[in-house]
Amino acid sequence: MAQAAPRPTVRGPTFIRLLARLAEMDVDAPGPSLPERLGQWLDWKHALSLAAALDGKPAAPEPAAPAQDLHAECARAREVLAAAIKEDPLLAPGAPMDIPPDDAAFRQLCLARQRAMQATVGRLRGTLRDALARTSPAMARLAEVDAVMEAALTPREHALLAKVPDLLGQRMARLRAAGHACSWLDGFRRDMRSVLLAELDLRFQPVDALLAALRTP
Of 9-13, 15-19, 88-92, 132-136, the range with the lowest mean pLDDT is 9-13
Residue of higher predicted confidence among 120 and 183: 120
Q: What value does the mean pLDDT of the chain take?
A: 80
Residue of higher predicted confidence among 177 and 79: 79
| The overall pTM is greater than 0.95 | no
Q: Which of 34-48, 110-124, 177-191 has the highest mean pLDDT?
A: 110-124
What is the pLDDT at residue 15?
Answer: 83
What is the pLDDT at residue 25?
Answer: 62
Q: Do residues 197 and 82 make contact, with C-beta atoms less than 8 angstroms apart? A: yes
> DSSP alpha helices (H): ranges in the chain?
14-22, 34-41, 44-55, 67-86, 103-133, 137-161, 164-178, 181-203, 205-215
Q: Is the pLDDT of residue 70 over 80?
A: yes
Confidence of residue 184 (pLDDT cuts 50, 70, 90): confident
Confidence of residue 115 (pLDDT cuts 50, 70, 90): very high
3-class SS of residue 106: helix
Q: Is the pLDDT of residue 102 over 70?
A: yes
For the chain, which residues make up each domain, given as ranges? 64-90+97-215
